[in-house]
Chains A and B, each alone.
Chain A
Amino acid sequence: MTPLQKVAASFLCALFALIVLATFLLPAHYARQFRDIPNAGPSSAHPLGTDALGRDFLARLLYGTRVSLLLAPAAALLATLIAAVLGSAAGLLGGWFERIVLAATDLSLALPWLFLLLVVRAMLPLDVPPLVSVVIAFLMMGLLGWQASVRVICAAARGVRDSDFLLLARSSGCRPARLLVRHVAPNLRPLFYAQFFISIPLFILTEANLSILGLGVMEPMPSWGNLMRGFEDFSTLSTNPWRLTPLVLLVIVVMCFHLVLPSQEVAQ
């Protein structure tokens, strides 16, 4: 690890610790409205001011960070699992199955999946608590975001299939299940880890994009994307620059992830 990577890693760790402890640090509940001071500037009671409804911006930022940072890995995990199963099965079995999986992957990139998100939200029962609906939103992202990893994993699995050691193991009468567990999985595992870590920042960004479009996390629950919805009005940003903090934090975190991650070579 280079020193820079160490700095990035420790920043991420500190941030994770902070958001876990956020409940104790918050100046106020994220949804509590101080109606006498909407759109206030920074003060000692509200270090980052308040939003249009008078909610403490720092509390919303911290809570939103928690939502984004804890749920993005969950989505990444789901996506990597799907990609791992599909990709390695396609790579190992080859033939028609591989072709079908790869074609489906290509195709699913072209489908209107933004619309799918919209539909799923409209079909969910209405009386779910906000937290559950947020979790569902992230799981949906995970379900829909596996395509990029499939190609990589499939290619790697194909490599394993054609490798000498597998040939050797197979010729010595190793059963398929054992083959998979003892030989194939250990070879692909580092790739799975890499894919998992690489997808975390991607899902952080996806959440931001979706929430800005109004398809992500729902009010009053904050998230990075949600807090950035007000950016459409850039002119007020110049007078209250502290509103930019979610974007700054997001960019720093994603950059840190890029730094800490194994080089992009593995990913692509």
Chain B
Amino acid sequence: MRRVWIVLALTFVSCWPAFAGPQTADHSGGELHFCLRGEPKTFNPLLVEETSSETIRYLTGGVLIRLNRQTQALEPGLATSWKVSADGRTIKFHLRTGLHFSDGTPFTSEDVAYTMKALMDPQLHSPTGDSFRSGEGQVTVQTPSADSVVVTFPAPVAGLERLFDQVAILSAHSPKKEMAVLGPFYVADYAPGSSILLRRNTNYWKKDKEGKPLPYLDSIRLDIQRNRDIELLRFRRGEIHLIDVLDAEYFDRLQKETPAVAHDAGTGLDSEFVWFNQVPTAPFAENKKAWFRSTEFRKAISMAINRDDLSRIVFGGHARPAFGPVSPANHFWFNSSLPAPQYDSAAALRLLAQAGFRLEGSMLRDSSGNRVEFTVITNSGNKSREQMVAMIEQDLSQIGIKVNLVTLDFPSLIERITRTYDYEACLLGLVNTDLDPNSQMNVWLSSAENHQWNPKQSKPATAWEAELDRLMHAQASATSDKKRKADWDRVQQIVAEQQPFIYLVNKDAMSAVSPAVVGSAPSVLDPHAFWNAEVLRLGADPALGAQK
């Protein structure tokens, strides 16, 4: 008889969590589960450079000003209000009071000052900090009171407020250093190589309309998973709730099975483009350098590429032909007067004829009789890029140009495009997270390192590059957005005329969200699916409920 009781007791104990579950589900949002695609390299929000660390920073960091990923407008965060001075050098914040870090340390203006000083330390070499650097000199931070901060920069910083979206405030006094946070979650556990557990920060300041404290979710589990096929597989099995960045081929597959989970937020900010190496010292034949320097040649190539086919076949229609450095998704800064690129191989041939090229049989030759042939490099393991090159190869064969494809692993590729310049053409994509043109300073200035087609020039090689330099500097020091927009529109126009980067497509921002996630609203800006993590909660979903 006693044994029966023990058995009954054991049964009850083992069932207990099941009984307890539904009751607690009322006020808690459960555990959201998704994957990071690489190991976060740092938990220090000031040193973030890659996506995984960025995700952690976004979910844990408290910022003064938050960019709403959906409306693209700035919203008050830790600062209730702010004001930029007329000369664009000084910003004054008014802070929320009575806030505490996740470990209980009180938050004051001192913390903001501490963070800004640490961020602007020239020895830190942080990409976040560098984006604030507009001129030589010291950044000064004053704290007139516990709830106000004044930051003064040595020179005007264009789009200053927006940059604070990336600055997670550190505690000046907490013994837990950067692990004490002001964001909706904090890092509770980290198993290197496998997963990270974020828990709800009970000290988070934000409340919903009914006055309930946010976030709703109890915790977020991030699994480190490099393989995207496995990620998709796990999503399908209901083990993870969302995929923040979904490739077009996976999107189609998911949509076929369960249309409700695949979200296409429309054209995103990311672009794919190809460029020719115009570095004068590059180790390949002079006649090829002459082609690549020819504006007609680049424009002809651009015309001969069928971008509609690229977006239709490689991206299954989830991309849009691109023709400039700014995606139409960037509402304010996009130059809508740019002419759309036309696919026209006959016109391309006419243009090439003007530049001295001629078609002999099925081969295009330059004025000295050399066959036009070049190799495009791209990073290995990226199927859509390989496919794009394969399609470009067929497009260009129509005008007698032979294209070879070589895929290289990322370090080798970067070495070639940034150090040895031993390549002819390269196809890559740019992940754009910032809307402001100032973030592309290092791309368009002829002296910059990321001026890929001909970096680190001591003096602009062409008149149009000199003009680009002038415009970029002008927009950076202008204080009115209208003036900046005019300059930046002109930059976009020059790029379209000169085609130093031949833009191919803007990919759609696609993500997958399980129906169990309540409150999701995938956006075009990064992060797409969890930008509103604080208001997400898990509803009743049988598939996911089972494993809880």
Contact = CB atoms under 8 A, between A and B. Distances in A.
Interface of A: 31-33, 35, 38, 52-54, 118, 121-122, 126-130, 133, 214-215, 218-220, 229, 232-233, 235-236
B56 interface: no
Contact of A219 (B284, B374, B377, B386): B386
A233 B386 contact: no
Given A126-B423, A127-B375, A130-B404, A214 B380 contact: yes
A140 B229 CA distance: 29
B51 interface: no
Contact of B394 (A32, A129, A130, A214): A32
Contact of B387 (A31, A53, A215, A232): A53
B313 A35 contact: yes
A177 to B, nearest CB: 46
B424 interface: yes
Contacts of A31: 390, 393-394
A214 B407 contact: yes
Contacts, number: 67
A110 to B, nearest CB: 22
B405 interface: yes
Contact of A126 (B229, B377, B387): B377
A126 B424 contact: yes
Given A52-B387, A214-B407, A236-B253, A33 B394 contact: yes
Given A31-B394, A214-B381, A122 B412 contact: yes
Contacts of A235: 253, 257
B264 interface: no
Contact of A53 (B253, B377, B380, B391): B391
B390 A220 contact: yes
Contacts of B422: 126
B313 A127 contact: no
A170 B200 CA distance: 85
B260 interface: no
A126 B406 contact: yes
Contacts of A215: 380
B313 A54 contact: yes
A101 B380 CA distance: 35
Interface string B383-408: 10011011101100000000011111
A127 B373 contact: yes
A80 B405 CA distance: 32
Contact of B390 (A33, A118, A233): A33
B136 interface: no
B409 interface: yes
Given A219-B386, A233-B249, 12 more contacts: A31-B394, A38-B313, A126-B406, A126-B424, A127-B374, A127-B375, A127-B404, A214-B380, A214-B407, A218-B407, A219-B389, A236-B253
A31 B393 CA distance: 10
Given A31-B390, A126-B375, A126-B377, A232 B404 contact: no
A32 B284 CA distance: 30
Interface residues of B, number: 32
B424 A233 contact: no
A235 B406 CA distance: 30
Nearest to B382: A214
Nearest to B236: A235
Nearest to B306: A35
B448 to A, nearest CB: 25
B229 A233 contact: yes
A148 B71 CA distance: 63
B227 to A, nearest CB: 9
A127 B393 CA distance: 14
Nearest to A128: B404
A62 to B, nearest CB: 19
26 contacts: A33-B390, A33-B391, A33-B394, A53-B390, A54-B313, A122-B408, A122-B412, A126-B404, A126-B406, A126-B424, A127-B373, A127-B374, A127-B375, A127-B404, A128-B404, A130-B404, A130-B405, A133-B406, A214-B380, A214-B407, A215-B380, A219-B389, A219-B390, A220-B393, A233-B249, A235-B257
A233 B412 contact: no
A35 B405 contact: no
A54 B390 CA distance: 11
Given A214-B380, A233-B229, A219 B313 contact: no
Contacts of B380: 214-215
Contacts of A130: 404-405
B391 A218 contact: no
B75 interface: no
B12 to A, nearest CB: 41
Contacts of B406: 126, 133, 218
A91 B383 CA distance: 47
- In order of increasing CB-CB distance, the 9 nearest A-B pairs are A122-B412, A232-B229, A126-B375, A219-B386, A220-B390, A127-B375, A214-B381, A214-B380, A126-B406
A54 B310 CA distance: 12
Contacts of B424: 126-127
Given A53-B390, A214-B407, A233-B253, A35 B375 contact: no
B309 interface: yes
Interface in B221-279: 229, 249, 253, 257
Contacts of A126: 375, 377, 404, 406, 422-424
B292 to A, nearest CB: 14
A128 B229 CA distance: 32
B409 A118 contact: yes
Nearest to A52: B387
A128 B284 CA distance: 13
Contacts of B309: 35
A230 to B, nearest CB: 9
Nearest to B393: A220
A54 B383 CA distance: 15
Nearest to A119: B412
A133 to B, nearest CB: 8
A233 B393 CA distance: 26
Nearest to B415: A122
Nearest to A127: B375
Contacts of A32: 394
A32 B397 CA distance: 11
A52 B313 contact: yes
B246 to A, nearest CB: 14
A110 B377 CA distance: 31
A129 B313 contact: no
Nearest to A54: B313
Given A52-B387, A126-B422, A127-B424, A218 B394 contact: no
A215 B407 CA distance: 9
A178 B394 CA distance: 58
B228 to A, nearest CB: 9
Contacts of B313: 35, 38, 52-54
A218 B407 CA distance: 8
B409 A122 contact: yes
A121 B407 CA distance: 9
